[in-house]
Amino acid sequence: MTGWCMRQAILSDLHSNIEALQACVTHAREQGATHFACLGDCVGYGADPVPTLDLLRSLPHLLMIRGNHDEALFQDEDIGVPGIREALDWTGTQLTPTHCELLEAAPYIQTLGEVTYAHASAHDPQAWEYLRQPEQIRACLEATPAHITFIGHVHVPMVFYLTAGDTLREHNPEPGVPIPLSPTCRYVVNVGSVGQPRDGNNAASYAIYDSDRVEVTIHRIPYDYVSAAEKILAAGLSARFAERLMEGR
Amino acid sequence: MATARKKRAVTPAPHLRPGVKLGRYRVGQMLHEGGMAQLYAVDAKPPLILKVPKLGPDHPASSLVAFENELRILERLRGPHVPKLVAAGDLVHQPYLLLERIDGDALARAAQQAPVSLDTLRDLGVQLARAVQAVHHQNVIHLDLNPNNVRNRADGTMVLIDFGLAHHAGLPDLHDAAFGEEEGTTAYIAPEQLHHVRSDSRSDIYAIGAILYQLATGHYPFGRPNLMSLKRRLVAPPLPPRSHNPQLPPWLQEIILRCLETKPENRYATAKRVAHLLAHPESVPDTRRSHRRQAPGLTVRSRAWARSVFQKFDDDAAQRPYERLTTSPHVLVALKLAHCSESQKEALRRAVRRLALSESKSYFTFVTVVPQADWEQARQQGKRAPDLANLLAMRNWAQPLRLPEVRMVFQVLPGEPVRTLLGYARRHLVDHIIVGARGSSALRRHLGSISAAVAAQAACTVTVVRTRKDVGKGGKTTNSK
């Protein structure tokens, strides 16, 4: 992917929230996004798995990564959130074989040139760690030669970087402000969550990566969370999933 | 992987030498060679300067970081107080900066000739503080202010240069002490910078204090710049400037020592506050230390030392420079007390009190504008202070507010009211204007037009204060623009 100019919208943790995905995709197209990546967790929590996956499939140059909810859809094990097993089983009844193929074909991790894409971490991606501690971030950086690693899973947008002097720092990105990525540093960028933001801001979160300018911008997009929440309640899924959309927690 | 990255980053220094063509420019003679970069003249209209970082095994690896940092920040800064960035070379293959050349070095020359006259010091200090304010307003902290990093345009406007060490609050910070980078310039560096705190805009206030100290006395605040002078600033205040030069006015000593407080929270919150006080010395409080001519006694020093042992410089809850500016507003209150009813006076006081309470760092300038003719007439009659009656009336009005002296300035200004108020607000970077609405129908034409014109033309928020009684006559209680 080096030497090739692209503006890639990186979406993660969609969680069957078509209202949020639609808002992000519309915004990304307005921003001139030519490529799309989805870092996993397309399903779970939300009530619109089919429209979400259909819209996702239609996006140009789509790169798909597998998340823990996508994996749990095809396994019986519990992922530890009350009500999520029922939500995933219900999701399974909604999907067609085409949708299932899309999710099953997604790899855990992919590296293209200077960029690595993973759901939770580049280090042991199937362990589904929540990357918060410095040692976890260092392990993630050591597991890949890439300049930038894009992740999701934690539902909180954040930029971690290792300076030329081997100091690990974090930067809380301002929405809409492009962050230039220095060739002297290495980065782990958490793009936040499209369908279940959890940093106290209920606007959907996604990133645009500009490979030409070597910049990342985190965008926060307000969307119709009331409709999304009503559909969750109407589908008989856990009311807590609906509440979380309003609170952004 | 780290080696992979380094291979990408560190390329040999490009062959940019005198005579080489760079696009449509030709590189001229070398002007300066520092530890991290070389500066060349570039003959163009207007004249430019070429800055090339020193790269390669013989030079500090941090010079590339400083270069990239400066590029990122200059790309984002605007206005007359920073050099224009004309072009920049590719970071990996041929790094260079092509910048507007600003030759004025009034501050550096004054620092060499220090001590300078009080008028020169005030003028330079105000200009410097304004330039720093303009940069803070754009969320950037310079962190290496010293007389050599400040230039001036022909009209005296100061321009800050060399943003290699600066910090942009909206960008990831590339600097790394572990990488062996310098933290600032020894004589001017703030104590928290020695603890690697790079996110406090009040570090620049400290440097302003150190520069003012040098201009006033001809000495550095902590003696010759060396390791001892770095340690000393962590444990004790500097020698009072009046110990070097007893002629210095106490208010100036107070401003300088407040800028040079060890704890950032004890310094002035904004650079424009320093500029405002340099212009209004009468509102600088008279304290014991403002008169001091010797080093503080053993008790004060040992107390300062004991405090320093437990002093922590907190980087966690750092306020972005721009936020600090909005929580330390300069409020201009236009008063025409002779035409105000008691209820209007009280309504104005309430408006001031609300702001004073909600923003504990706010400060107020109370202004009465008098017609030029009255002013001249009073002067001709030989009155020593033609504004005395108005000043006393304002102070009397302000007493129930119980604001500390340091948060208040009282001014009587001659001229046409609207133009005078707006001119003052512009010069002193006022954030908020409070003005009374027309008082009664008899004065409607006179005062009403003032508040409406101020609200329409001001570059900041304007609160027009009305008393409840006036509402019936067709207005709102308060009205914010």
CB contact under 8 A, B172 and A159: yes
Mean pLDDT of B394-418: 90
Question: Mean pLDDT throughout B389-397?
Answer: 90
Chain A 145-174, CB below 8 Å of chain B: which residues?
Answer: 145, 147, 159, 161, 163-167, 169, 171, 174
Q: A186 touching B, CB under 8 A?
A: yes
pLDDT value at residue B381: 75
Residue B145 has what DSSP assignment? -
Ranges of each domain in chain A: 7-247
Beta pairing class for B478-480 and B461-465:
antiparallel
The model's pLDDT over B114-135, given as tens digits with 9 standing for 90+, comes to 899 999 999 999 999 999 999 9
Amino acid, res. B479: N
B373–A contact, CB cutoff 8 A:
no
Q: Which two tokens stand for residue A98?
A: 């085409």
What is the separation of C-alpha A114 from the centre of its chain, rounded to a whole number of angstroms?
19
Least-confidence region, from A229-233, B108-112, B231-235: B231-235
**Can you read off the two tokens belonging to residue B19?**
């005579």
Residue of B91, B174, B181 with shortest CB distance to A185: B174
* Region for residue A44 given its phi and psi (left: phi exceeds 0; alpha: psi -120 to 50; beta: otherwise): left
Contact check, Cβ <8 Å, B173/A171: yes
pLDDT of residue B287: 83
Interface test with A, best of B1, B55, B72, B91 (most A CBs within 10 A): B1
- Hey, are the CB atoms on B176 and A179 less than 8 Å from each other? no
Q: How far is A144 from chain B (nearest CA, A)?
A: 8
CB contact under 8 A, B6 and A186: no
If one compares B474 and B310, the residue with the highest pLDDT of the two is B310
Query: Please, which pLDDT band fits residue B469 given cuts at 50, 70 and 90?
Result: low
Tens of pLDDT, residue by residue over A25-64, are 999 999 999 999 999 999 999 999 999 999 999 999 999 9
Rounded-to-integer distance, Cα A182 and Cα A162, Å: 10
Q: Report the pLDDT averaged over residues A3-23.
A: 91
Q: Tell me the torsion sign for CA atoms B208, B209, B213, B219.
A: negative
Residue A75 has a CB neighbour count (10 Å cut-off) of 9
Contacts of B436 (CB under 8 A, 6+ apart): B334, B335, B336, B340, B344, B347, B348, B447, B451, B464, B465, B466
Q: Please give the Cα distance from A88 to A76 (Å, whole number).
A: 10
Q: What pLDDT score does B443 carry? A: 52
B2, B4, B68 member nearest A182 (Cβ):
B68
B177 — contact with chain A (CB < 8 Å)? yes
| Confidence (pTM) | 0.84
pLDDT tens digit string along A177-223? Answer: 999 999 989 999 999 999 999 999 999 999 999 999 999 999 999 99
Lowest mean pLDDT among A53-57, B102-106, B312-316: B312-316
Structure confidence at residue A69 as a pLDDT band (50, 70, 90): very high
Pick from B152, B169, B173: which is nearest to B161 by CA? B152
Do A163 and B2 make contact, defined as CB atoms within 8 angstroms?
no
Domains within chain B, CATH numbers bracketed: 2-100 (3.30.200.20), 106-172+183-317 (1.10.510.10), 329-480 (3.40.50.620)
CB contact under 8 A, A169 and B172: yes
> Of B174, B182, B196, which to mutate for an interface test with A (greatest number of A Cβ within 10 Å)?
B174
Q: Tens digit of pLDDT for each residue in B169-208?
A: 889 998 876 666 667 888 999 999 988 888 899 999 999 9
Residue B59: the pLDDT is 72
Site of tokens 């790169």 = A63
- CA atoms lying within 13 Å on the CB side of residue A141: 26
> Looking at the complex, does the CB of residue A83 fall below 8 Å from at least one CB of chain B?
no
Return the pLDDT at B442. Answer: 56
Task: Give the integer Cα–Cα distance in Å for A33 and B191.
Answer: 46
Contacts of A175 in chain B (CB under 8 A): none
The per-residue pLDDT for range B369-379, each reduced to its tens digit, is: 988 888 888 77
Interface check for B382 against chain A (CB to CB < 8 A): the answer is no
Q: What is the DSSP letter of A33?
A: -
B64 touches chain A (CB under 8 A): yes
Q: What is the pLDDT of residues A211-245, one digit of tens each?
A: 999 999 999 999 999 999 999 999 999 999 999 99
Chain B residues whose CB is inside 8 A of the A145 CB are 1, 4
A142/B180 touch (CB, cutoff 8 Å), yes or no: no
The answer for B 284-323 residues in CB contact with A (under 8 A) is none
- Angle (nearest 5°) at CA A214 between B56 and B95: 30
Interface contact flag, A142 B179, Cβ < 8 Å: no
ipTM of predicted assembly, 2 dp: 0.84
| Option in A165, A174, A183 nearest B179 (CB) | A165
Partner-chain residue, chosen from B170, B175, B176, that has the shortest CB–CB distance to A177: B170
Least confident of A9-23, B35-49, B223-237: B223-237
Residue A38 in 3-state DSSP? strand
- Provide the residue type at A21 as one letter: L
- Contact assignment for A174 to B8 by CB distance below 8 Å: no
The Cα B246–Cα B115 span in angstroms is 12
The first and second tokens of residue B22, run together, are 């760079």
Average pLDDT estimate for B380-387: 67
Cα–Cα distance measured from residue A33 to residue B402, given in angstroms and rounded to the nearest whole number: 58
- A7-247 folds as Purple Acid Phosphatase; chain A, domain 2 (3.60.21)
Is B152:B107 a contact under the CB 8 Å cutoff?
yes
